[in-house]
Amino acid sequence: MLLWLTDVLGRPLGWRDVIDIALVALLIYEVLVLIRGTRAAQMAVGAGLAVVLFYLSQLAQLETVNWIIRNMIGYVVFAAIVLFQSDIRRALAHLGRAPFFRYLSKGEIVDETVEEIAVAAQMMSSQRTGAIVVIERQIGLRNYVEGGIPLDATISYDLLVTIFQPGSPLHDGAVIIQENRVSAAACFLPLTVNPRLSKDLGTRHRAAIGLTEENDAVAVVVSEETGGISLVLEGHIERNLTPDQLRVRLRQLLHPRRGAAASPSTPQAT
């Protein structure tokens, strides 16, 4: 393979060539993943057949076929842009969610996520609607996500409040947030077996504690009985937070540099 690449390039293979080939391979892979299962996949197969037919017509000296293919390429490109404009928009949106770009805009995305969760918690607290929202950090929560109802939706307070409405089929269980998106709802979590917990803690609080005892996730719980907002981390619970205090704590945990600049204090964990 290396000898073949050297012959193609006409010079020894250098590190720039390796990077170049790797980037092209990654681009082709992303395109194939993106068009898989869509109409564009059939278009790609057709384009591949046209390319093969073009070279075969040159080898076999089929001048008419070769001329038709050469002159149709320009029209086919414009037709593809018109027919697949929705797929092209989806591809550009997918590119914008690539890890590199997510890293550049991570601060803004985290702030938006925190704000949506805090507003939702405030609204559910005023309505005394029970809720539990779990935010994934370093340790994955895939096992719990697979046991729930997959959503993969943009975070908004409207969505969170709607999910936890008593009449909603998804209100039982927890919402899990991964990569600043609502990954799944109606997820069931393990209950803690800690005998020293207060007797007035309900099932939601015990589920949040049980989960965070096992990993580094952060859980926000709204009590159905009192409307109190709690934050659970590493098996410890901070109760009766105000929405502003919740914002500060979430920023500290999800974006430490920005959270450290915030001044309001938080209640002691219990």
* Per-residue pLDDT at 192: 87
Is residue 232 within 8 Å of residue 205, measured between CB atoms?
A: yes
| Geometric angle at alpha carbon 11, from 7 and 17, rounded to 5° | 95
Question: Buried (b) or exposed (e) across 172-187, using 16+ Cβ within 10 A?
Answer: ebbbbbbebebbbbbb
Which domains does the chain carry? 2-101 (no CATH), 106-260 (3.40.1700.10)
CB atoms within 10 A of CB 109: 18
The structure's pTM equals 0.60
* Per-residue pLDDT at 168: 85
What are the DSSP calls for 92-128, one per residue? HHHHHTSHHHHHHTHHHHHHHHHHHHHHHHHHHHHHT
Q: What is the mean pLDDT of each run of 10 residues along the chain (270 residues)?
A: 59 73 80 64 74 83 81 75 66 57 58 91 93 91 89 91 89 90 91 82 89 91 92 92 93 66 40
* Per-residue pLDDT at 259: 41
One-letter amino acid at 241 equals L
pLDDT, tens only, 239-263: 999 999 999 999 988 875 544 444 3
